[in-house]
Amino acid sequence: MKRKVVICGVDTSTLPKLTNAQSQQLLSSIRSGNDSDRTYFITCNLRLVLSVIQRYAGKANMEDLFQVGCVGLIKSVDNFNTELNVRFSTYAVPMIVGEVRRYLRESNSMRVSRGIRDVAYRALKTREEMEKESGIEVTVDEIASQLSLPAYKVAYCLDAISDTVSLSDSTYNGDEDGMTLQDQLFDKKTSESVWAENITLKEALDNLNQRERDIVMKRYFQDKTQVEVSGEVGLSQAQVSRLEKNAVSHLRQSML
């Protein structure tokens, strides 16, 4: 049974599918100026747009993303070089992703100065042109050299307009299990055992009375001296010392 997805009034389950041979034939016809074949080919590939924008679900309205993705698809059709030995989808997906990311960047509430955006967009355009010509991925140094700019400035500007990511974002989807960015990160400070210890510590802190908890937070989390804490909580240093020792003792017992 076909999976029915209706977006922007388009029922993607009813869209025709093309074989590789049919795609090549239509692309050749499009290069010759056949507008009807162009429209038909774009329609057949709307499902490709849907598959790309699904990875951005939750970041913006899906219908808006679909329309933006269609712009990328149309640009791919109009700029695709049939003489290159690559499948259309291989060329189209990065173009669609680029349009979607550009839309998300420009609609982001975090403002980036016009000068930084201009350099970043020039760098992106230069990278696209260089990779299209060479067929290989280019480095920031090569882009900077082409623009006659310092590499650090190009890297900074590209980073300024890059998308924020979540640790829960998917980086790989296999047949059985998916992999998130969090799965690929390992740090002794963020290991599961440390997370468990932090949870236990929080629960132990919650069991202290308010005054003991304040003293512990100021002494061990804000790195303040007993004299400083004494002045802030309105107690003598001797009282702070006694309450701190009691609190630490309670924490040790709670975490056993």
- Report percent pLDDT > 90 for the chain: 11
Residue pLDDT, tens place only, 79-98: 888 887 788 888 889 889 98
- Tokens 């920031």 belong to 140
- Residue identified by tokens 């700019």 is 149
What are the tokens at 63? 């219908």
More confident residue, 117 or 73: 73
The CA distance from 142 to 150, in Å, is: 10
What is the number of helices (H) and of strands (E) in the chain? 13, 4
pLDDT of residue 176: 47
> For residue range 173-231, what is the model confidence (pLDDT) as tens digits?
444 455 555 555 555 555 545 555 666 777 778 888 888 988 988 888 888 888 888 88
Structure tokens at 211: 């005054």
What is the CB neighbour count within 10 angstroms for residue 92?
23
Q: DSSP 3-state assignment of 141?
A: helix
Q: Work out whether the CA dihedral 129, 131, 135, 138 comes out positive or negative.
A: positive
Q: Give yes or no for a contact between 107 and 60, defined as CB atoms under 8 angstroms apart.
A: yes
pLDDT number for residue 256: 63
Q: For residue range 135-160, what is the model confidence (pLDDT) as tens digits?
A: 888 888 999 999 999 888 888 888 77
